[in-house]
Amino acid sequence: MCIVPRTTMLDIVSGNLSTAGVEETLKDFWVSRPRRPHEGRKIAGVAAGIAQRYQIDPVVVRVAFVAMALCNGAGFLIYLLGWLWLAQDNDEVSAAEALIGRGRSSTPVPLTILLGLAVLPATGFFVDGGFTMVGGVLLSVGAVYLLHRGRGSLNRPPSAPEVRPVDTAESPTTRVTPPAWDPLGAAPFAWDLPEPTPTTAVPAEQPSRPPHRRRRSRVGAATFGLSLVVLAGALVASSYSAWFTAQHIIGLVVATLGLGLLVGAFRGGGRGLIGLVVPLSLAGAVLTSADFSTFDGSEHVGDVDARPVTIEQLQSRYDTNAGTVDLDLTGLPASGTATTAVEVGVGSVKVRVPASADVTVTCHTGLGSVECLGPEKGGRNNTATVTDGGTGEGGLKLELDVRAGVGEVVVRRG
C-alpha cells in the first residue's frame, strides 16, 4: 500500500507547500469560482460575487473594475467574461456553459450570444492591436492568483472539490510497526491495538488579559503619500516628455490609489481612498473621451448671443471656453458669401441659418450630441459635414464650422 500525503486547500492558499504552484491555484479557483448573487448587484453581480466569495468589500472590487476600465477598456472585457463564465445563484452552470449544453442557466440564450459577440470588440483587437486583450488578461490572471492564494479558503462552496498537486515521485512503501509500548514486537497479537491514551495534566487557568486593541492600519496614509509623490514626479516629467498629459497623470495616480485599495482589502484600512479614486476615475474617463482641442487658452467664459444682419457684422469666429453660443443668421441678406466658425469648450452651440441659403456646414462634438441640418445623433467624437441648398436657388452662400468639446451642437433652418 502506498501513502499519498494529503494536501489541504488551506495549505495551498497559505503557501506552506512548494508544490502549490500557479496551475493548481488557478484550477482550484475554477472549481470553486464565485457565483453571481441576485441581491446586492449593480449590473450582473460579477463584482458582488467576487466580494462575497472572498469576503472583501464590494466597493473595492467595483473600484478595481472602474480603474481597469481606464486601461483601454480592460475592465469591460473582464466584466463581460465574468458575466459569461460565472454562474448565478441557483443555476447549475454559467451562461456560456449552458450555451454548449453543460447544464441549465437562467440567462436567456439571446443575451448570452449578445455578450459573446461583445467580447471581441472589447478585446481592443480592432482598435489597438489587442493590447487590451493581452494586458487585461495578464492583469486579471495575476489578480485572481493572488486573491485566491490569499483568501481561497474563505467562504468556499461546500460542493467544490479540492484540487491538490499530484506527487509524481514514487511514494515509499509503508511497513507495519509495533506499538510504542512494545518496541521489540514480542506481542504480535497486540500490534493492532491502539496506543495507550497518555495522561494529560489539566492546565492551570491563565489570568485574563485585557482585550487586544487593534492597531490602526497605515495603508491609507502610506498610499496617499505615495500618490502625492507619483503626482509630483509626473508633473516634473511633463516638462520633459509629452506623454505625461493630464489623462496619463490621473491614470498613474488612480493606479497608485487602486494598489493601496487592493493591499487594504487584505490587511485592513484604506477605505477612505475610495473618495479619491471615484472622482479621479470619472475625470480621467471624461478627459480620455472628450476632445478639448476647442479650448483656445483664453479666459473667455460665459454665454455669447449674436444676431448679425449684414455680412460685415458677421464675425469670423464666435467662441467660449464654458457657456452657450446662440448665433442667429436668419437676418443676413439674401445674397453674398459669408464664413464663420463657432467653438465651445464645455456647453452648447445653437446656430440658425436662413431657409433659402446654400449652406455647407461641418459639425463636431468630442462628447455629446450633434444635430446638423438633420437627425440628432449622440456619442463620442461625432462629426457631420452637410451641404444643403435650402428652399431657394442661388442667393446667400454660408460656410460654417461648428464645434464643441463637451456638449451639444445644433444647426437648424430658421
3-state SS of 11-79?
HHHHCCCCCCCHHHHHHHHHHCCCCECCCCCCCCCHHHHHHHHHCCCHHHHHHHHHHHHCCCCHHHHHH
**What is the pLDDT, as a whole number, of residue 168?**
44
**What is the pLDDT, as a whole number, of residue 15?**
42
- Give kind and range of the element (H or E) at residue 319: strand 317-328
**What is the pLDDT, as a whole number, of residue 337?**
92
What tens digit of pLDDT does each residue of 173-200 get? 445 555 555 555 555 555 555 555 555 5
Mean local confidence (pLDDT), 66-94: 82
Which phi and psi angles does 242 have, rounded to 5°?
A: -75, -10
Range scoring the smallest mean pLDDT among 14-18, 74-78, 136-140, 292-296: 14-18
Task: Name residues whose C-beta falls within 8 Å of residue 350's C-beta, 6 or more positions apart in sequence.
Answer: 324, 325, 326, 327, 410, 412
Mean local confidence (pLDDT), 154-181: 58
Give the residues across from 344 on adjacent strands: 320, 404
The β-bridge relationship of strands 376-388 and 304-306 is unpaired
Q: Which amino acid is at 402?
A: V
Which phi and psi angles does 400 have, rounded to 5°?
A: -125, 145
Using DSSP, state whether 267 is helix, strand or coil.
Answer: helix
What tens digit of pLDDT does each residue of 195-230 get? 555 555 555 555 555 554 555 668 888 888 888 888
Edge-to-edge strand ranges of the sheet holding 304-306 = 304-306, 317-328, 337-353, 397-413, 358-372, 376-388
Nearest alpha carbon to residue 151 among 272, 50, 44, 260 = 50
Q: Could you write out the DSSP letters of every residue in 70-137?
A: TTTTHHHHHHHHHHHHSPBTT-SS-HHHHHTTSS--SS-HHHHHHHHHHHHHHTTHHHHTTHHHHHHH
**What is the pLDDT, as a whole number, of residue 57?**
85
**What is the pLDDT, as a whole number, of residue 361?**
94
Please give the Cα distance from 182 to 190 (Å, whole number). 9
